[in-house]
Amino acid sequence: MRYMNRILLVLCILSGQALAKEPILDIEDLDFDKIRSPIFPTESHRYAYETREDWFQFSLEYDVGGQGVWLNRVEVEWHVMLDSSQGSVLLGKKIRYADVPEGTHYAVVYLRPNFIKRYGKQEEIDKRDLRVLIIVRIDGKEVQRHHYPSRISESEWWSVNNTSTSTIIKRDELLARTETPFAPLDWDFYQYIESYAPSHPPRKSTPKNQEKKHDDSGEN
């Protein structure tokens, strides 16, 4: 009997260790911040002058649990609908991070200053004008979804095929950190970005003479 109890104890310890190493990813928070361009002690052009424009930052806090856990790939897919001064604007980004350890981490994307000036109401972005869906995957498998506002919409507003033809689709305007002047800052604070890409396909039904209006990585 004592021998059997020892076996059961060992099995419980081993199963507990296995469970402790099972990766668990939880989304903790989503923040919105206005953040100014960093200043560097040099210029890229002799006519350049010091200026600090305002960027808009989306910051997702997530936690990876499990003792000694390493995740090969974590993909954060962003879908953002902005109620702008020119109507609805749909933005998106997929960012893949490599070798993510246990602990608390932050995934960020940005809107650039001139986008804010052009599409923001009164040249500002108000979080009340935003709808956000974030999909998180581990090694290609979806593990979490986060909606802002917290109420879950019955309609898939983030799908290109469900948007109005008047919706402006900006496939390349939601920027990864490495596409911004913040790229070299706080390098070890963020996880390594392996790749990034737009998260929305072009609208298939858009006539060729209207593609630039609705699906344009540059200016409208």
Given the structure tokens 């040099």, which residue do they identify?
A: 42
Per-residue pLDDT tens digits for 110-136: 999 999 999 999 999 999 999 999 999
Q: Side chain identity at 56, as an amino acid letter?
A: F
pLDDT, position 178: 97
CA distance 216 to 220: 7
Per-residue pLDDT tens digits for 17-68: 444 455 689 999 999 999 999 988 877 777 777 678 999 999 999 999 988 8
pLDDT, position 209: 45
User: CA dihedral in degrees (180, 186, 189, 193; nearest 10)?
Assistant: 30
Measured over all CA atoms, what is the biggest interatomic distance in the chain, rounded to whole angstroms?
A: 86
Q: For residues 56 and 219, which has the higher predicted lDDT (pLDDT)?
A: 56
State the chain's mean pLDDT as an integer: 84
pLDDT, position 203: 61
CA distance 115 to 103: 34
The answer to whether 97 and 137 have CB atoms below 8 angstroms apart is no
Task: Flag the least confident range among 26-40, 67-81, 101-115, 204-218.
Answer: 204-218
Phi-psi region of 52 (alpha: psi -120 to 50; beta: other; left: phi over 0): beta
pLDDT, position 21: 53
Query: 178 in helix, strand or coil?
Result: helix
Per-residue pLDDT tens digits for 133-191: 999 999 999 999 999 998 766 678 998 888 888 999 998 999 999 999 999 999 999 99
pLDDT, position 212: 39
Nearest Cα to 55, choosing from 23, 86, 33?
A: 33
Nearest Cα to 164, choosing from 205, 217, 208?
A: 205
Structure tokens at 70: 């390493």
Given the structure tokens 């000694």, which residue do they identify?
A: 68
